[in-house]
Amino acid sequence: MTQPRSCSVNARACHVAVIGLGAAGLVAARELRREGHTVIAFEREKQIGGLWVYTDRVEHDSVSLEPDRTIVHSSIYKSLRTNLPRECMGYSDFPFVFRPGDGESRDPRRYPDHREVMMYLQDFSKEFRIEEMVQFETEVVRVEPAEEKWRVTYRNSRGVSGEETFDAVVVCNGHFTEPRLAHIPGIDSWPGKQIHSHNYRIPVPFKDQVVVVIGSQSSGNDISKDIATMAKEVHVSSKAISSNSYVEYTGQKNLRIHPTIYRACEDGSVVFRNGRVVYADVIVHCTGYKYHFPFLETNGYVTVEDNRVGPLYKHVFPPALAPGISFIGLPFMGLQFFMFEMQSKWVASVLSGRVKLPSEDKMMEDAVAFYGKLEALGIPKRYTHFLTDPRGNPMLGTFNPHDAAVISQSDYFNGIAEHCGCPSIESWRERQYNVAIKKLFFGGDSYRDQWDDDQLIEEVYREFAKLNA
């Protein structure tokens, strides 16, 4: 096979396909156009926003295992508020500030609800005329090499198919739609109902039930408390709890936290590793998602193994296919929108020839060295794209890379900035994120509504004012 490349080196403008118009695809489209490329962005849904387009709809298969199911993209629940303060969540030159306007009801809170994020993305899209580049209700069904380029085959909502050849394809399809389930011994004969958080919207269906929630990260934490407002009892299974402990949650009397599940039994019981047994009606898996690229044919150059997408140079470029194929937004945890923007600037500048990537061999060496480092630290492949300083992060439960941060997100941003000559993370954003992440893990229930970094907020708004000056 001839390995497809992108537009020839030093060429100014490439014809680029962007797949998906969530927060990643929006900024990718903007940066690509800014750099002089022509962009066609394909979006399966009727509107931009991706994950932030809330819907009451859920999938017919409550654990989303059926391969032919009709996919509902969004995974957000009705009560969702952001888990980061809005100031550090936005893109660098379009602050996520409260913009009262158009008579629409907006949420001025520092940790706003999901509608406010959606409106922010709509504002961004309007400001930078992103929709001019988008083909809505058009799903990309295949991306494959075609001579030196990439052929994109798509199908629209009327069932009409088409194809077009591009110099490069930027993959922004999100990674919160294909659920990962916890492995529970005995689950096949356990008679209760199971759902994945992807299909959770509101607590009403759990009225008076006994519910086990697996996972105590952001979604598990929110969802268990949401369900506890209606359920008889909620039992959270958490990796952060040692095997002989048991915590009665003080905020809600019907909420208890256990270590992981030992097994589920035919009689409906669920046995935790602390020896406690509950007879549960439902298990809710808040256990994360899998990377999934059903449309992508790379002849084995890119694979997904135990949730590692690889090999990739710095989470973005597959060495053998760069820069014709790139991925925006794979790393999780951390400053997502800012990261999308940095990665997009990098991809755009590499495609235009303004910035050069290392040779394929060097990129591969870098990727292999990174994977080797993870392995040496005992970090499972599925944490490859965990982009935050892992020190002191209780979410990482089963391993403890305390003294050896593999890479912090600021190092990652600095590396990209240095390479593509763009500004790196602002000092205020880094400091605010560090405060926010501690509050997220250790701030208790009030973390979204109580804070003590007012001085930092003032500093941030002074910086925002300079952007408009």
Residue 272 or 295 having the CB closest to ligand FAD: 295
Q: Is 31 in the site for ligand FAD (CB under 6 A)?
A: no
- Kindly write out the interface string for residues 335-374 of this chain, putting x where it contacts ligand FAD by CB under 6 A and - elsewhere: -xx-------------------------------------
Q: How far is the CB of 141 from ligand FAD (least distance, A)?
A: 7
Distance of alpha carbon 439 from alpha carbon 239, whole angstroms: 19
Q: In DSSP terms, which residues pair with 234 in a beta bridge?
A: 211, 255
For the segment 395-434, give every residue that binds ligand FAD (CB under 6 A). Answer: none
Report DSSP state, residue 168: E
| CB burial of residue 262 (10 Å; 0-12, 13-18, 19+) | buried
Least spacing, CB of residue 286 vs ligand FAD, in Å: 9
Residue 388 is a binding residue for ligand FAD (CB under 6 A): no
Of the candidates 17, 18, 23, 407, which one interacts with ligand FAD according to CB under 6 A? 23
10 Å Cβ neighbour count for 201? 20
Pairing of strands 38-42, 15-19: parallel
Nearest to 296 by CA among 138, 144, 73: 144
DSSP 8-state symbol, 317: B
- Shortest separation between residue 237's beta carbon and ligand FAD, angstroms: 19
Structure-token pair, residue 76 = 């957000």
DSSP string, 332-385: BSS-HHHHHHHHHHHHHHHHHTSSPPPPHHHHHHHHHHHHHHHHHTT--GGGTT
Q: Cα-flanking dihedrals φ and ψ of residue 365, to 5°?
A: -55, -40
| Nearest by Cα to 291 from 175, 430, 125 | 175
Q: Does 333 bind ligand FAD (CB under 6 A)?
A: no
If you ran DSSP here, which 8-state letter would residue 327 be given?
E
* 288 belongs to the binding site for ligand FAD (CB under 6 A): no
Piece in contact with ligand FAD (CB under 6 A), picked from 81-89, 252-260, 355-363, 438-446: 81-89
Phi, psi of 62 (to 5 degrees): -70, -15
Residues of span 210-229 touching ligand FAD by CB under 6 A: 219
Report the site for ligand FAD in 107-136 (rule: CB under 6 A).
Answer: none
Looking at beta carbons only, is 6 or 221 nearer to ligand FAD?
A: 221
- Residue 287 is a binding residue for ligand FAD (CB under 6 A): no
Q: Respond yes or no on whether the N-terminal peptide bond of residue 319 is cis (omega within 30° of 0).
A: no
Which of 176, 346, 413, 428 is the binder for ligand FAD (CB under 6 A)? Answer: 176
Closest contact distance (angstroms) between CB of 284 and ligand FAD is 13
Q: What does the block give as tokens for 360?
A: 């394929």
Residue whose CB is less far from ligand FAD, 174 or 203 = 174
- Which listed range, 15-23, 228-236, 261-269, 270-278, lies at the site for ligand FAD (CB under 6 A)? 15-23
For residue 39, the cross-strand partners are 16
Options 6, 62, 64, 75; binder of ligand FAD; rule CB under 6 A? 75
Q: CA–CA separation, 191 vs 112, rounded Å?
A: 38
Least CB distance to ligand FAD at residue 170 (A): 11
14-22, 180-188, 249-257, 361-369 -> range binding ligand FAD (CB under 6 A):
14-22
Least CB distance to ligand FAD at residue 91 (A): 11
C-beta closer to ligand FAD: residue 119 or 140: 140
Rounded alpha-carbon distances, angstroms, from residue 124 to 54, 73, 449: 18, 21, 26
Residues near ligand FAD (CB under 6 A), total: 32
295 scored as a contact of ligand FAD (CB under 6 A): yes
- CA-based radius of gyration for the chain: 22
Q: Closest CB to ligand FAD among 43 and 341?
A: 43
Nearer to ligand FAD, 219 or 238 (CB): 219
For residue 204, the Cα-to-chain-centroid distance in whole angstroms is 27
Binding flag, residue 43, ligand FAD (CB under 6 A): yes
Residues that bind ligand FAD in the complex, under the rule CB under 6 A: 19-25, 42-45, 50-52, 73, 75-76, 82-84, 89, 139-140, 172-174, 176, 219, 295, 329, 336-337
